Amino acid sequence: MQTEDAWQLRSPGQEGNALESKKRLLQIIRKLKKEYPQPRTALNFSSPFELLVATIMSAQTTDAQVNRVTSVLFNKYTTIKAFADAPIKTLQKDISSVNFFNNKAKNIQASAQMLLREFNGNIPQTMAEIIRLPGVARKTGNIVLSTIYGVNEGIAVDTHVMRLSQRLGLSTYADPVRIERDLMELTPQKEWANLSHLLVLHGRNICQARKPKHAECVLRDICPSKDL
């Protein structure tokens, strides 16, 4: 069984396996880039704060649904202060068609207030700072930092990235933090954001949770789950 120390101490056989896994991952990225030449978030936004809000809202909710809500929301609330000062019941009602809207509205408002109070209204540029915002964990932090600042501090792991990492044999874990660490070990840092977007796109289009379309998949030659 894999242990914490396995990340530091590897036998020569494990090193060989790691090298093979790295090569395979580069193949995966190459093949997926041909399918999805412009990997990026599907969330609509026109400012760093709007991306933060949309990403907080996207947990357990499809990007398409978030985009429907934000197309109205971002016309109503046009500044960080507007989100910070809104009556919370009104904000909750305004995003009530996304899952967990009560908590998400509270987190969005508390994040807006903290940004104004502690960050001069700017989105922080490091993971350590951005995850201090209420409702912001590593997944949201990774998406915002890489999209806004081109900073790759980690790899955003959502439900698609989790599923594909397991099916493609890139991680044996179910915990997103451990999956993120496995992927970071195997992937060149400049590709971290791309890998996340590519796996999300492929998960939505081909490697779906219930009925993966193995026959149409460009990864079937190198995928250990092609006969599932």
42: DSSP letter: -
How far apart CA 58 and CA 179 sit, in angstroms, is 20
* Binding of residue 81 to ligand SF4 (CB under 6 A): no
How far apart CA 30 and CA 221 sit, in angstroms, is 14
* Binding of residue 43 to ligand SF4 (CB under 6 A): no
Examine the residue annotation and report whether 139 is marked as an active-site residue of this protein.
yes
- Using alpha carbons, list the distances in angstroms from residue 179 to 10, 41, 128, 165, 212: 18, 20, 19, 7, 21
Specify whether the CB–CB gap between 133 and 139 falls below 8 A.
Answer: no
User: How many residues are there in the chain?
Assistant: 228
Q: Which stretch binds ligand SF4 (CB under 6 A): 119-127, 151-159, 186-194, 212-220?
A: 212-220
* Binding of residue 66 to ligand SF4 (CB under 6 A): no
Catalytic residue among 63, 85, 94, 158: 158
* Binding of residue 219 to ligand SF4 (CB under 6 A): yes
Catalytic residue among 139, 211, 221, 227: 139
Number of residues forming the site for ligand SF4 (CB under 6 A): 14
> Which residues participate in catalysis according to the annotation?
139, 158
Interface positions with ligand SF4 (CB under 6 A): 167-168, 206-207, 212-214, 217, 219-220, 223, 225-226, 228
